[in-house]
Structure 1
Amino acid sequence: PFKIVERKPYLLYIIPLITLLLRLTDDFHHLVWSSSSTIRIYGVTMPLSRYGPWFWVFVSYSYSLVFAGSSMLLKEAISYSSLYKKKSLLIITAALLPIAFSFVYLSRICPFDLTPVSFSLSSFFAFIGIYKLRLIEIIPIARDRVIENMADAVMVFDEELRLIDLNRSAEKFISKRKDEVLGKSAMDLPIDTDILRILHSEKKRTCEKNGRFYDVAVQPVKDKKGNVIGKILIARDITDIKRYQNELEELNKHLEEKVKERTKEVWKLVKQKDDFIKQLGHDLKTPLTPIISLLPLIKEKVKDKELVRLLDIISRNVNYMKDLVTDTLSLAQLSTPSYKPKLEDLNLHDVVKESLIENEYLMKEKDIHPLNKIDTSIRVKADKLRLKEIFANLISNSVRYTPKGGWIEFSAKRVGDEVVIEVKDNGIGLTEEQKEKIFDEFYKADESRHDLSTSGLGLSICKKIVERHGGRIWAESEGIGKGTSIIFTLPAGEITKK
């Protein structure tokens, strides 16, 4: 009946309309009042009426509606929180008071009709509900509407794990209607053992049910004192997400296989390139060696100044070619995956000192003054030959672009597990663009750097060596004409006392 009324609420007005019509025409049929007279009670004249058959039909109908509404409200109130239970009880009390007073009067228990007084009491309870408990508010309605229409299954259990509420999605989740499962223990519900375990452990887990996957989580419901008075189970359908994850994993697996194949091909090409460069270097160095050895001998026997000048040009170009081949081979070796530096615990001050002695002839040609300001206690873990190669390249670079009478300064400091090394000069300096590209292979910043005395690979080799040691390298300069600092890091060695 309730579902019929819910679909067609106008049916509720049929009996009241009939009653109104019969009351207006009661003088002809007396179905509402069969007779009426007066009676004196305690000196007061009171009307005395005898009720007709339709009067009792209407009273029964009215009582039925009130009791039906109250029972529905009471049933729903069981699952509400304490605040909403109070509101529900106030509504039920306010509705039943007029019925109770009316029943007392109609049953002749009391000769006075106190029904109007009961409405005053009902109004009092309504006042308490509206102003004290906020009876008329949208929050509970909105909350119920949101929860009821959620895609997630929501099930509410009391402290004894009896189901006291669930939404539509939960009905689908357990394949049961609400009225079939309310009040049942969790053990009696058609839910899997895994979900029961989650309900007891309150740990989030993924479960499979009827071929679909759910993320199931349980939250305890606590009162003001922190006591657990119930639990809320939420199950989210993640079947589509799971499917997308599986598809993504398959795609990633396929891509990884492709990457492995491509990487294998790339390393094969890299090896072929390295082998080619090594062979090419060997083939180029073989004819250059006798030429470099013979040119000074030929120059000694030649008296013609023009021929001597030409021999000097040939010698410079041959030496440039030799340096280019040497640097190219060095860079190729540093680029191979198999290369590993031979690490030693080195005194940085001593390594710089040795490098300055080995490159002294370069600095003397331009009267460059070296300054070794590195503390003798600083040590690094590095390949000594490669470290000296870095300093040789940096000294050569600084000498080349520093004016006569200039200086080169070496300094270092330990920062945590690494040593920061700086090689600074008062040379021609760098622009912002040049600082970013100066370590690129064969890069020469401007026309002042475009000469045959350098291969353009020196700083690239320095970068490779530093990176192979797990360090970083960069350039700093305040601008053109303000000098350059090349700064790099290396792993720190053992700390020694002065």
Structure 2
Amino acid sequence: MMKPVTKYILASSLIAILGITMFGFYSLNRYHDSEATHERERLEISIRTFWQLLAAKGEEYRVVDGKLLAGDYEVNGNFELPDKIQAIFGGVATIFMGDERVSTNVLDAGGKRALGTRLVGAAHDAIFKQGVSYRGTATILGSSYLTAYDPIRNRQGEVVGVLFVGVKEGEYLARLHVMKMHLTLVLSGIVAGSVLLMTLMGLSMRRVEAENENQGRFQQTLLDTIPTPVFFKDANCRYLGCNKAFEAYVGFTREQLAGKTPHDLWPKELADRYQQQDRALLENPGMQAYETVVRYADGTLRDAIFNKATFNGSHGAVGGLVGVVIDITERKKAEVALEFQNLLLSTQQEASLDGLLVVDENARILSFNRRFVEIMGIPPHLAESKDDGPVLEYVTSRMVDPEGFLEKVRYLYLHRQESCRDELVLLDGKTLDRYTVSLIGADGRYYGRLWSFRDITERKVAEEEAKSAYQQLLDIVEFLPDATFVVDREKRVIAWNRAMENMTGLKKEDVMGNGNHIYSIPFYGEPRPILIDLIDEDLDVVSRDYTTIKREGATLSAEARVPAFRNGETRYFWGTATPLFDKSGNRTGGIESIRDITENRRAEHEKSRMEAQLHHARMMESFMVRLGHDLKTPLTPLFALLPLVRQRVADPNLKKMLDICCRNIRSIKELTDKTRMLVKLSYDIKPYELEYIPLYSAANECLAVRAGLLADKNIDFRNEIDPALVVQVVPDQIKELFANLISNAAYYSPENGLVRISAEQCAETVTVSITDNGIGVAPDHLELIFDEFFKVDESRHNLEASGLGLSICKRIVRNHNGRIWAESAGLGQGTSILFTINQRFAGIGNGEKEMVANG
């Protein structure tokens, strides 16, 4: 028959065991709920981060040619954003185009990205039928996930895709399963220990006298089966015994522990701590529990909870204590991991560039980050109070449209399922991008609302500046002298300037906004690629239609021959095309300028022809120099010897014949000298040859040299040049010029004729005139008299006149960058030879001299 005391002890122990078990499972369920809530919060932060990353690529979402675009960012087959979310938060992430996965790190059964698979189930209905976000569990390719889905809308509010993040239920419950296993083991140990203790106590009471020794062995065996370390000490803190688990923990056997105090076994610091705790319990009998770090026999440090209780001896006094050591290392690791996750989430919230505000289902403030306070300029005392009314009142007071702001807030609180994105303008000039989404659990419960505010003031200013810059570009393009047009990235014409209209005959309104190579039709009669379309092509491709190709960086320049341009005439065009980029380096289009170089090509052809003629002339000059040299060699002795021969000849007829020979030799010598003079005058003037001389004096010197010729014909020669007029010239050339012009005037003037030399200055130009009243020049000969060997009166066939005098004058004037010409009223009306020179010499090239000299 069981005694009442024994029944009471067993009943109390059973109740305690049940209580511990129920508390353990209650704690496990609470931990499960906490983990689920934590994962949902983590998913919300993950999908918000996903939105921010996607918005950074572009905030306009649209489907173009079967591709989902975020701004200019192509999502299809681009795994950058899902993989970045996975790297930050773990789990999986997907971007859908419609209900098709186009960017994902969800893997199919073959371990490949599940591209092309479809969204199905409750999430599909919520997004595409109800137009709302979905939060909850979902089966994806055969696996159960805790998920968050948000619709992606275009500017018209149409759903064009879905943003998804999720985590396998098995992954986030893994920690729970570990905790459950450890808790089960601990509870099992406690229950087993309690059962064993109860058993020992029962056996002790029933067999305390008869089977004391057997009972002790049995109890020890039972204790050894308990996986949790258990030990016993007496009232003097000496070890009485322990189980196998405790032996493994401390690294000593029961025999080594028996009768020893902590100071006999452990280092002093550790022994003092153990003995202090034991003394405190023995002096105040009852229960004791504390957490500490212990070093196991294998040297590892472990977190443990010591549960101790005193027991009474046979006389009712405290006989000692029994202790149980529970290893909580894994639980502590789980707690640290959870704390880290919470810290990570709070840090991410504080590190966000957006102002974040979270309210509960009753619109009461739960939390907000520092950025929200900064953007809204909330005073510190309001921020610290987190009082809903004053904070909302203050924020509303900062709005340009406070009524509209409040109306939208009230509407969204009433329509809990709706999300919203719009812009707010503050009184201080800020522009905010506001986005809000409901916080809805997997069971559909409404937990509150998340508000996100982003300061987009700089972006708005940049957009306005971009618009202004674009208009400036259009204005610049419009007034460029070259024909210029601009296209966008779809090759649609967005600028067509006035010069382009004049060149092609196409008006701006006929081409603006049009694509399909409309800009090529005026040149080739059909739509086809031209230079602006070949910027990225290899030069081999460009060379099929263009010549003289140049590429500098991204700019392409080339020449094109258009055989039948507009009126059917062959024209040549020089084109320069380059791409256009935005601030982010994304190509936005291209610009091409076209110049008609047909006349340039003709000028180049003419230049080539003139250069060939010049080369021929140089060859002739070389020939003339050689000829002059070869003629001078035999003429020199003849010129000296014939007069001597004539003196010794008595025959008058023979003397006449020798006179004729002498005159012809002089003519040949003069012709040779003038020819060599022409060649010499073909070279540019050197700076050191120039001098400032009075024109009056130069003319007088030449008159003095020709005094005999003037006297023979009794010619009145008048020098009317201002003696003070000074010019910078080559003196010998100017004197040769005057000598030839004076001789020419005297030669063609009648007996008792009049020759006048005058000069007029206009600014830096001096015009000199030598006028006679001689035989005159026919109008059709005025341009010819400066050509080599041309003679006004061929009928006279005057051998003494070389026909090179005026040609030499032309060369001299050309060398001084001047112009020479003749004026005459006709035959018998006299002639004026005029030339210009600059008062101060300014050198130019031979080609330009030729043009100047010819007028």
**Shift in CA distance, 417/238, structure 1 to aligned 2, threshold 3 Å:** farther
Structure 1 residue aligned with 2:710: 363
- One-letter amino acid of the structure 2 residue matched with residue 215 of structure 1: A
**Is residue 2:631 matched to residue 1:299?**
no
Q: RMSD over aligned Cα, in angstroms?
A: 3.6
- One-letter amino acid of the structure 2 residue matched with residue 313 of structure 1: I
Alpha-carbon distance in structure 1 between the residues aligned to 2:628 and 2:749? 32
Shift in Å, 1:486: 0.7
Match of 1:490 among 809, 813, 837: 837
**Is residue 2:799 matched to residue 1:467?**
no
Matches within 5 A, 1:85-164: none
Matches within 5 A, 1:299-448: 299-336=646-683, 338=684, 340=686, 342-447=689-794
Conserved in 2, the CA contact under 8 Å of 1:216 and 1:233?
no
Matches within 5 A, 1:8-407: 197-199=469-471, 203-205=475-477, 206-209=485-488, 210-211=490-491, 215-216=495-496, 235=512, 238-239=519-520, 246-247=559-560, 248-249=572-573, 268-336=615-683, 338=684, 340=686, 342-407=689-754
Alpha-carbon distance in structure 1 between the residues aligned to 2:469 and 2:840? 56
Deviation string 1:3-32 (CA, Å, 9 cap, x unpaired) is: xxxxxxxxxxxxxxxxxxxxxxxxxxxxxx
**Shift in CA distance, 377/317, structure 1 to aligned 2, threshold 3 Å:** same
**Shift in CA distance, 298/416, structure 1 to aligned 2, threshold 3 Å:** same
Shift in Å, 1:259: 7.4
SS of match in other structure, 1:443: coil
**Shift in CA distance, 449/197, structure 1 to aligned 2, threshold 3 Å:** farther
Alpha-carbon distance in structure 2 between the residues aligned to 1:194 and 1:277? 70
Alpha-carbon distance in structure 2 between the residues aligned to 1:403 and 1:390? 22
> Whose helix fraction is larger, Structure 1's or Structure 2's?
1
Shift in Å, 1:410: 0.8
For normalisation by structure 2, the TM-score amounts to: 0.31
Alpha-carbon distance in structure 1 between the residues aligned to 2:712 and 2:628? 30
Alpha-carbon distance in structure 2 between the residues aligned to 1:194 and 1:455? 76
Conserved in 2, the CA contact under 8 Å of 1:419 and 1:491?
yes
Alpha-carbon distance in structure 1 between the residues aligned to 2:664 and 2:749? 23
- One-letter amino acid of the structure 1 residue matched with residue 826 of structure 2: G
- Structure of larger gyration radius: 2
For normalisation by structure 1, the TM-score amounts to: 0.52
- One-letter amino acid of the structure 2 residue matched with residue 319 of structure 1: R
Shift in Å, 1:258: 7.3
Shift in Å, 1:233: 12
Deviation string 1:138-170 (CA, Å, 9 cap, x unpaired) is: xxxxxxxxxxxxxxxxxxxxxxxxxxxxxxxxx
SS of match in other structure, 2:696: helix
Shift in Å, 1:324: 1.1
- One-letter amino acid of the structure 1 residue matched with residue 714 of structure 2: D
Conserved in 1, the CA contact under 8 Å of 2:727 and 2:839?
yes
Conserved in 1, the CA contact under 8 Å of 2:493 and 2:512?
no
**Shift in CA distance, 324/416, structure 1 to aligned 2, threshold 3 Å:** same
Alpha-carbon distance in structure 2 between the residues aligned to 1:340 and 1:448? 41
Unpaired runs of 5+ in structure 2?
1-458, 478-484, 499-508, 524-529, 532-545, 547-557, 561-571, 575-596, 842-855
- One-letter amino acid of the structure 2 residue matched with residue 207 of structure 1: V
SS of match in other structure, 1:436: coil
- One-letter amino acid of the structure 2 residue matched with residue 303 of structure 1: A
Deviation string 1:335-384 (CA, Å, 9 cap, x unpaired) is: 34x45583221101010111111111221222222111111111222211
**Shift in CA distance, 449/424, structure 1 to aligned 2, threshold 3 Å:** farther
**Shift in CA distance, 409/449, structure 1 to aligned 2, threshold 3 Å:** farther
Shift in Å, 1:262: 6.5
SS of match in other structure, 1:402: coil
Alpha-carbon distance in structure 1 between the residues aligned to 2:695 and 2:623? 36
Shift in Å, 1:386: 0.8
Alpha-carbon distance in structure 2 between the residues aligned to 1:261 and 1:466? 25
SS of match in other structure, 2:471: helix
Alpha-carbon distance in structure 2 between the residues aligned to 1:442 and 1:429? 18
**Shift in CA distance, 379/249, structure 1 to aligned 2, threshold 3 Å:** same
SS of match in other structure, 1:437: coil
Shift in Å, 1:246: 3.9
Shift in Å, 1:255: 7.8
Deviation string 1:308-341 (CA, Å, 9 cap, x unpaired) is: 11111111111111111111222223234x4558
Structure 2 residue aligned with 1:456: 803
Shift in Å, 1:256: 8.6
**Shift in CA distance, 315/344, structure 1 to aligned 2, threshold 3 Å:** same
Structure possessing the higher relative contact order (Cα contacts under 8 Å, 6 or more residues apart) = 1
> Whose strand fraction is larger, Structure 1's or Structure 2's?
2
Deviation string 1:203-225 (CA, Å, 9 cap, x unpaired) is: 2434233346653469xxxxxxx
Conserved in 1, the CA contact under 8 Å of 2:511 and 2:519?
no
Conserved in 2, the CA contact under 8 Å of 1:409 and 1:424?
yes
Alpha-carbon distance in structure 2 between the residues aligned to 1:491 and 1:436? 23
Alpha-carbon distance in structure 2 between the residues aligned to 1:266 and 1:400? 33
Deviation string 1:44-78 (CA, Å, 9 cap, x unpaired) is: xxxxxxxxxxxxxxxxxxxxxxxxxxxxxxxxxxx
Conserved in 2, the CA contact under 8 Å of 1:214 and 1:238?
no
Alpha-carbon distance in structure 1 between the residues aligned to 2:660 and 2:512? 85
Alpha-carbon distance in structure 2 between the residues aligned to 1:263 and 1:195? 52
SS of match in other structure, 1:442: coil
Deviation string 1:279-317 (CA, Å, 9 cap, x unpaired) is: 111001111111111111112221211111111111111
Deviation string 1:202-257 (CA, Å, 9 cap, x unpaired) is: 52434233346653469xxxxxxxxxxxxx99838644557698412468798898
**Shift in CA distance, 264/421, structure 1 to aligned 2, threshold 3 Å:** closer
Conserved in 2, the CA contact under 8 Å of 1:217 and 1:234?
no
Alpha-carbon distance in structure 2 between the residues aligned to 1:258 and 1:428? 42
Conserved in 2, the CA contact under 8 Å of 1:393 and 1:462?
yes
**Shift in CA distance, 267/373, structure 1 to aligned 2, threshold 3 Å:** closer
Shift in Å, 1:273: 2.7
Alpha-carbon distance in structure 2 between the residues aligned to 1:211 and 1:467? 55
SS of match in other structure, 2:821: strand
Alpha-carbon distance in structure 2 between the residues aligned to 1:292 and 1:375? 41
- One-letter amino acid of the structure 2 residue matched with residue 426 of structure 1: N
SS of match in other structure, 1:346: strand
Farther off after superposition, 384-393 or 273-282: 273-282
SS of match in other structure, 1:456: coil
- One-letter amino acid of the structure 2 residue matched with residue 198 of structure 1: Y
- One-letter amino acid of the structure 1 residue matched with residue 470 of structure 2: I
